[in-house]
């Protein structure tokens, strides 16, 4: 297996984390699921910084965001598969 672009922790996660520098829109990313070492491919729809999240599926406004198998927040807007998730479109449920 070549070096992954994206790590996903649990099969139920709706996002993965970019693990390479300078990820550009249009990149055919290799994603690895650490829970079972499976892999899949997904295309980046935007330039995404290392450590930031990518939607693994289409996410509707109001949907729960899952990372590490945990609820990490709510979508403030619709987010398409392969798009960047960050403070502009995700909000914590804590406040």
Residue 95: the pLDDT is 81
pLDDT tens for 21-71 read 999 999 999 999 999 999 999 999 999 999 999 999 999 999 999 999 999
Which residue is listed with tokens 């949907």?
63
Is the domain spanning 6-91 CATH 3.90.100.10? The answer is: no
pLDDT at 57: 97
pLDDT over 70 (residue 1) = no
Q: What mean pLDDT is predicted for residues 10-31?
A: 97
**Lookup: tokens for 70:** 């945990």
Q: Among 2, 26, 35, 1, which Cα is nearest to 16's?
A: 35
């Amino acid at each position: 297996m070549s070096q992954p672009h994206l790590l996903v922790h649990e099969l139920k996660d709706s996002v993965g984390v970019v693990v390479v520098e300078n990820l550009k829109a249009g990149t055919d990313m290799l994603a690895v699921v650490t829970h079972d070492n499976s892999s899949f491919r997904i295309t980046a729809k935007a330039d995404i910084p290392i450590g930031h999240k990518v939607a693994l599926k289409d996410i509707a406004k109001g949907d729960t965001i899952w990372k590490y198998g945990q609820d990490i927040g709510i979508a403030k807007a619709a987010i398409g598969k392969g798009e960047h998730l960050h403070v502009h479109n995700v909000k914590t449920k804590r406040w």
